[in-house]
Structure 1
Amino acid sequence: MNETQNLPDTRPLFLAALAQVTPLIDGLAASDLDRPTPCSEWAVRDLLSHLVAVEDRITHIAGGGKPFEVPSVVDGIADADWSDAWHSRIAPLEQAIADDALLGRTWAHPAGEMPGFQAIAIYASELAVHAWDLARALGRDDQLNQEIAEAVVGPMTGALPAEPRGAEIGVPFGPVVPVAPDASAYARLVGWVGRDPEWTPQS
């Protein structure tokens, strides 16, 4: 029996989280790029630079590379080219994770070595959170899929402890922001990773 048949296939969730980002980027105006985001010290332009780098990094890691061989931001993309930069990386990324054997293969994730299905799930969570960051910065929360957040919030709360946290100890998340038990999936997700679900560009 193929051992990958016994592993959870986290790729559909990842691809859904990836696809959720696309219309947010496609709908950008030049005037949006300097808007603040919930990510401390990042404007929309900086967040886009990181998102494109995440595409590059996942493709690189899926091919057997090390995460820090790829920078966490991409420089040199013109303001008019963010959509093209994002789209140009989608097909190579999809191809990189197409092999079922990758689910059980060890990946060199920034958080440590782990099986591919787990690394892909973590990246789904990262994309889901950054989709909220971007949507909230743009005032486009109505484009977010709560089902994606619901699918990742449980694994995220299980994998990311409430404490200790801090970039200085290698856990680059802020303190948990408490939310009501009946809060939306997205509010629970971003609150757990240290975002204020009530953040607005005027905060």
Structure 2
Amino acid sequence: MDLDPRPLYTRATGQVAALMARVKPEALGDATPCEEFDVRGLLAHLVGGVRAGAERGRTDADVALVAAEGVPDDGWLPAYDEARALFDEVWADDAKLDAPVSVPWGEMPGRAYLASGCVLETVAHTWDLSTALGHPLPLDQELAEYALEWARRVLPAERRGGPVPFGPVRPAPEGADAYARLAAWLGREV
């Protein structure tokens, strides 16, 4: 798990961008499996997450994830693409992979932050957005397997509740794909 997570993050954000391109304005108020967000709120969270990741890489300080505000209904994809370009620019230096990064729960190497804080988060919300949109595109199962491996490592079942923002692990249906298994591990109803 010590590989460079940046190419996986690029694939994950590309997948989200492809889904964002399919969001119709009338769907922005629709529910998602992530109970705290409707589609618009999830898009704001995704854009804000990429911006926060770029800022964390630039400053190496703990940066709060703030949902993007003021984005017009037809501007989510351009806002996301702009944030992705900034993120890629900030994290292009290989030295950042082993440099310490401050996160709310402590400090970790940039490589671990990118894997657990960026790839995992993006892949999990990919399933949320895809589900809300009726699964319009096939999803990259390798990304979900990678994210699930990290989720099991950093979000063990016995640490749920309290400050850990995930519910208890839920069962995934027999034969579920990697995204459904990840969603169930993160406490979502599959």
What is the TM-score with the length of structure 2 in the denominator?
0.92
Structure 2 counterpart of 1:145 = 140
Moved more, 130-139 or 40-49: 40-49
- Whether the 8 Å CA contact 2:172–2:180 is kept in 1: the answer is yes
Q: How does 1:44-59 map to 2 (within 5 A)?
A: 44-59=39-54
Give yes or no for the alignment of 1:185 onto 2:178.
Answer: yes
The gaps in structure 1 that reach 5 residues or longer are 1-6, 198-203
Task: Mark the CA change 1:141 to 1:158 in structure 2 (over 3 Å): closer, same or farther.
Answer: farther
- Whether the 8 Å CA contact 1:60–1:67 is kept in 2: the answer is no
Task: Mark the CA change 1:143 to 1:183 in structure 2 (over 3 Å): closer, same or farther.
Answer: closer
Measured on the aligned residues, the alpha-carbon RMSD in Å equals: 1.6
1:141 deviates by 5.4
Percentage of pairs with the same residue? 38
1:36 deviates by 0.3
How far apart are the structure 2 equivalents of 1:60 and 1:15?
A: 17
Structure 2 counterpart of 1:163 = 158
1:182 deviates by 4.3
SS at match of 2:102: strand
Task: Mark the CA change 1:147 to 1:141 in structure 2 (over 3 Å): closer, same or farther.
Answer: farther
Task: Mark the CA change 1:180 to 1:28 in structure 2 (over 3 Å): closer, same or farther.
Answer: closer
SS at match of 1:108: strand
Moved more, 21-30 or 182-191: 182-191
1:185 deviates by 1.0
- Whether the 8 Å CA contact 1:33–1:43 is kept in 2: the answer is yes
- Whether the 8 Å CA contact 1:174–1:193 is kept in 2: the answer is yes
May I ask how many residue pairs the two structures share in their alignment? 188
How far apart are the structure 1 equivalents of 2:168 and 2:135?
A: 25
Structure index of larger Rg: 1
How far apart are the structure 2 equivalents of 1:49 and 1:98?
A: 24
How far apart are the structure 2 equivalents of 1:171 and 1:66?
A: 21
How far apart are the structure 1 equivalents of 2:143 and 2:65?
A: 27
Query: After TM superposition, what 4+ stretches of structure 1 lie above 4 angstroms from structure 2?
Result: none
- Whether the 8 Å CA contact 1:57–1:67 is kept in 2: the answer is no
1:183 deviates by 2.8
In the alignment, residue 172 of structure 2 is paired with which amino acid? V
Structure 1 counterpart of 2:15 = 20
1:136 deviates by 0.2
Structure 2 counterpart of 1:4 = none
Structure 1 counterpart of 2:121 = 126
Q: Choose which of 60, 64, 69 in structure 1 pairs with 2:55.
A: 60
The gaps in structure 2 that reach 5 residues or longer are none
